[in-house]
């Protein structure tokens, strides 16, 4: 025991350094874990505060989960979250790798920089702003798309109340915002490829396309695999902003825009189904955790340095 305190004292400066962060992690990360027991309770808000609210709520066991999974909601939000993320991951991967290779091939490096700067812009804008951008195209009476349809004598489309267009719109917007950023990662590794490989290939008479296929892509594959696996680990988490801001929280679109994150938020703020919503959040965390662990395990097998832990 005395040795323990001696150690504490010896490390006091370092302990003092981690203290603010550790306190933060305690309150913002670890204490909420305790709060997840609300998923097993019928939540009753108590004026006496956090602990009282949790303690005074009645235990209901797995009822919140049973109820959640007996509704259509659980299916819809799981399906939407998974399918959208799969689309983002795979289409995004193909397009950003293609864009990175394309940029690396441009003869004029200054122009390449200019293009890259343009592509990077959406990454820096908030989802609120992006929501307004989308509105300027999709607005029923003023948006650019309906005007263009008008030129061809077609009826205007009620974009914000017709679900059938939204899978495409959401995928497009998500890719629009992320491709510039992702292609930078790939471009950086393309720049790191040993130039002599290309020289050797060229002496052997390889065409540009052959070089890309047998040098660039194989050299990129570790980072591609790692980025993809890390994204797969996050497949149960949706970008709340995309699914909340871009469709303008339009109720008629929920069937194609509701994801786990927006469902949990609405449970908290709109419908007031705290218990069930927490259950959905816990379901997300548990499955998400398993996926992160599995994908990290796989990443570790491929390239130890790229694993998160």
Partner 1 sequence: MAELTRKKRDFHNVSRGSNVVLNIIAGLFSFICVFPFLFVVIISLTDEKTLATDGYRLFPAKWSLEAYRFVFQSGDTLLRSYGVTILVTVVGTIVSLIMISLYAYAISRKSFRYRRFFSVFAILTMLFNGGMIPTYMVVSQLLGLKDTLWALILPLAMNAFYIMILRTFYSTSVPEAIIESGRIDGAGDFYIFLRIVLPLSLPGLATIGLFSTLGYWNDWFNALLYIENPSLVPLQSMLMRIESSIQFIQQNSANSSISMAALQSIPQDTSRMAMVVLATLPIIFAYPFFQRYFVQGLTVGAVKE
**What is the sign of the dihedral through the CA atoms of 267, 294, 97 and 101?**
positive
Report the 10 Å Cβ neighbour count for 82.
16
Query: Footprint of partner 1 on residues 86-125 (CB under 8 A)?
Result: 99, 102-103, 105-108, 111-112, 114-122, 124-125
Q: Considering only the stretches 65-73, 78-86, 141-149, 157-165, report the one whose residues sit in contact with partner 1 under the rule CB under 8 A.
A: 141-149
Among 2, 3, 5, 21, binds partner 1 (CB under 8 A): 21
Could you give the string, one character per residue 237-276, with x where binding to partner 1 holds by CB under 8 A and - elsewhere?
Answer: ---xx---x--x------------x--xx-xxx----x--
Query: Footprint of partner 1 on residues 46-75 (CB under 8 A)?
Result: 49-51, 53-54
Burial 180-203 (b: 16+ CB within 10 A, else e): bebbbebbeebeeeeeeebeebee
Determine the length of the chain: 309
Closer Cβ to partner 1, 33 or 302, answer by number:
33
Binding of partner 1 at residue 162 (CB under 8 A)?
no
In angstroms, the CA 252 to CA 238 distance is 20
Structure tokens at 199: 């020289």
In angstroms, the CA 17 to CA 22 distance is 9
Least separation, in Å, of the C-beta of 45 and partner 1? Answer: 8
Least separation, in Å, of the C-beta of 22 and partner 1? Answer: 7
Collect all residues with Cβ–Cβ distance below 8 Å to 262 and sequence separation of at least 6. 77, 238, 240, 243, 244
Collect all residues with Cβ–Cβ distance below 8 Å to 51 and sequence separation of at least 6. none
Closer Cβ to partner 1, 50 or 90, answer by number:
50
Query: Footprint of partner 1 on residues 213-232 (CB under 8 A)?
Result: 223
Closer Cβ to partner 1, 86 or 308, answer by number:
308
In angstroms, the CA 301 to CA 306 distance is 10
Among 163, 176, 193, 224, binds partner 1 (CB under 8 A): 176
Binding of partner 1 at residue 148 (CB under 8 A)?
no
Closer Cβ to partner 1, 105 or 161, answer by number:
105
């Amino acid at each position: 025991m005395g040795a323990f305190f001696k150690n504490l004292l010896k490390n006091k400066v370092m302990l003092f350094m981690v203290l603010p962060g550790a306190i933060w992690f305690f309150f913002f990360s670890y204490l909420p874990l305790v709060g997840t027991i609300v998923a097993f309770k019928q939540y009753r808000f108590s004026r006496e505060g956090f602990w009282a609210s949790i303690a005074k709520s009645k235990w209901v066991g797995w009822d919140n989960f049973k109820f959640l999974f007996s509704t259509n909601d659980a299916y819809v939000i799981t399906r939407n979250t998974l399918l959208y993320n799969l689309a983002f991951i795979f289409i995004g991967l193909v397009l950003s790798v293609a864009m990175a290779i394309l940029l690396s091939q441009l003869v004029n490096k200054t122009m390449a920089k200019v293009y890259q700067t343009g592509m990077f812009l959406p990454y820096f804008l908030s989802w609120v702003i992006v929501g307004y951008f989308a509105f300027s195209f999709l607005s029923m009476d003023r948006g650019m798309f309906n005007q263009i349809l008008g030129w061809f004598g077609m009826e205007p489309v009620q974009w914000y109340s017709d679900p059938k267009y939204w899978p495409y719109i959401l995928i497009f917007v998500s890719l629009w915002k992320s491709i510039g950023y992702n292609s930078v990662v790939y471009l950086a590794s393309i720049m790191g490829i040993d130039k002599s490989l290309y020289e050797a290939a060229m002496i052997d008479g390889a065409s540009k396309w052959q070089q890309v296929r047998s040098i660039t892509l194989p050299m990129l594959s570790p980072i591609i695999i790692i980025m993809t696996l890390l994204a797969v680990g996050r497949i149960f988490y949706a970008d709340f902003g995309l699914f909340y801001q871009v469709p303008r929280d339009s109720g008629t679109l929920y069937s194609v825009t509701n994801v786990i994150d927006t469902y949990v938020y609405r449970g908290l703020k709109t419908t007031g189904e705290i218990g069930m919503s927490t259950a959905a959040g816990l379901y997300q965390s548990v499955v998400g955790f398993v996926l992160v662990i599995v994908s990290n395990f796989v990443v570790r097998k491929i390239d130890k340095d790229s694993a998160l832990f």
